[in-house]
Structure 1
Amino acid sequence: MITGSNPLDPPRFILRWFTRFVEMDICGHATLASAHVLFSNGLVGSSDIVEFATQAGILIAKSVPEKGSFLVELSLPEILTCEYNSNDVSMFSKALSGATIFDIKGTTTDSTVVLPSWDSVTGLQPIRDDILKCPGKMLVVTAAAPPGSAYDFISRVFGPKIGVDESPVCGSAHCALAHYWSLKMNKCDFVAYAASPRSGTLKIHYDKEKQRVLLTGEAVTVMKGSVLV
């Protein structure tokens, strides 16, 4: 924990993220879990806000009351998507078992592939060895939800290069997806579905002026332990 000079400032902690292979620049899933542990165990006193000093800057987590428990709202930096600077889409289609590619975007670290339908994302059978050949640390696959759905878009995230074959619910990917779908749908508030085997729902607000993405989700403590020193 970092002790600030102003006692009214929110508690601030240093936070880093590691997979089996690499250190990550940003990770929403683990940030939400860290905030949940701090809030649920009273480690930040009465404060409903905690800040994390990270390689991606200051990330902010807020405890939001919800039916006798609480949700965690994360304020993360936006990740801009840009045009994929190659005409070679065959490697992506091959990695996704011949899936039809609707669009491809890039970020500074990842590739985002847009498929034509919700079902094409849920039914996807990725080929791990071919994903390793695609550019970017992670391959994000997404599609718009069908009309009348409770969701706005769906996604799955594959990262064998970083030691995560499929991310359960990837918060950092949604920092880029919020930017992409905001441009496509001309809106800033979304409900997204992460369709991994350990699926999840995210509420998203994209603040264009502040260049922040607010992700709200729930965490559950499933294990506790003690370390004796």
Structure 2
Amino acid sequence: MAEKKGVKYFVVDAFAESAFKGNPAAVCFLDDDNDNQRDDAWLQSLAAEFNLSETCFLTPIIGDFPRFRLRWFTPVAEVDLCGHATLASAHVLFSTGLIDSETVVLSSWEAVIELQPRLDEISKCPCEGMMVSAAASAESTYDFCSRYFAPRFGINEDPVTGSAHCALAHYWSLKMNKCDFFAYQASSRGGTLKVHLDKEKQRVLLRGKAVTVMEGYVLV
């Protein structure tokens, strides 16, 4: 009888910059036919064995793009969602090379501006949208620029996307070792944002200016 392949796992301290801090989570990969057939009772038993606040199970979804099904378990029950275990899972996927962390990141500011998106292909991606980003040059007043495309939702290119900068803040914080950024979204309209990553409260603060350009009444 062939030896049964074990389940690869990682324990990750999420929302932390060093070991033994933050919130720990176990990340387990169910990456073959045997693993995919493990029942819920087995998954729950393993989560109880880890005895961490959350254990996350990732199962690959076959397709043209790297996708994974996620399930989250406390030591006693499955839950609908867990933030720190999801972050831990993303960390493992990127750090092990299972997903290329440089896929949305381009080599230069100019490359972001000159990019010609293939909207038909982007619309096939199993995500709400796709963003590209690059660091600004050393002499620029900005830290990074980006563009955001969401053709599946009727937005070929969004002029300025606040929500995307929540993810960009975390990414560029790791790259630049800082928490405050001046960002530019390089759409045809363009827009600037001040971004602050609050690691202690696990939130991103966005600031920007606004201008009133129309005022009127709807009569029907």
- Per the alignment, residue 177 of structure 2 pairs with 186
TM-score (norm 1): 0.53
- Per the alignment, residue 205 of structure 1 pairs with 196
Q: Confirm whether residue 215 of structure 1 aligns to residue 206 of structure 2.
A: yes
- Per the alignment, residue 164 of structure 2 pairs with 173
Can you list the C-alpha shifts for 1:168-207, whole angstroms capped at 9, x where unaligned? 0100000110011001111000000100001011111110
Gaps of 5+ in 2: 1-85
**SS of the counterpart of 2:163?**
helix
Q: Which residue, 105, 110, 120 being the options, matches 2:111?
A: 120
**SS of the counterpart of 1:220?**
coil
- Per the alignment, residue 149 of structure 1 pairs with 140
Structure 1 or 2, whichever has the larger Rg, is 2
Higher strand residue share: 1
Can you list the C-alpha shifts for 1:89-117, whole angstroms capped at 9, x where unaligned? 7xxxxxxxxxxxx703xxxxxxxx11111
| Structure with more contact order per residue of length (Cα contacts < 8 Å, sep ≥ 6) | 1
Can you list the C-alpha shifts for 1:34-65, whole angstroms capped at 9, x where unaligned? xxxxxxxxxxxxxxxxxxxxxxxxxxxxxxxx
Runs ≥4 residues deviating over 4 A:
79-82, 84-89
Q: Report 1:125-136 matches (<5 A).
A: 125-136=116-127
Q: Which residue, 122, 131, 134 being the options, matches 1:140?
A: 131
Classify 1:135/1:115 alpha carbon distance in 2 versus 1 (closer, same or farther; 3 Å): farther
Q: Report 1:1-229 matches (<5 A).
A: 82=91, 83=93, 103-104=102-103, 113-228=104-219
How large is the Cα RMSD of the aligned pairs? 2.7
Q: Which amino acid aligns with 1:202?
A: L
How many angstroms apart in 2 are the aligned matches of 1:217 and 1:87? 36
- The Cα of 1:219 is off from its aligned counterpart by 1.0
TM-score (norm 2): 0.55
Q: Which amino acid aligns with 1:159?
A: A
- The Cα of 1:133 is off from its aligned counterpart by 1.8
How many angstroms apart in 2 are the aligned matches of 1:123 and 1:209? 37
Q: Which amino acid aligns with 1:128?
A: L
**SS of the counterpart of 1:103?**
coil
Q: Which amino acid aligns with 2:118?
A: I
Classify 1:197/1:119 alpha carbon distance in 2 versus 1 (closer, same or farther; 3 Å): same
- The Cα of 1:158 is off from its aligned counterpart by 0.3
How many residues are matched?
133
**SS of the counterpart of 1:191?**
strand
- Give the percent of matched residue pairs that are identical in Structure 1 and Structure 2: 61
How many angstroms apart in 2 are the aligned matches of 1:162 and 1:86? 30
- The Cα of 1:211 is off from its aligned counterpart by 1.1
- Per the alignment, residue 68 of structure 1 pairs with none
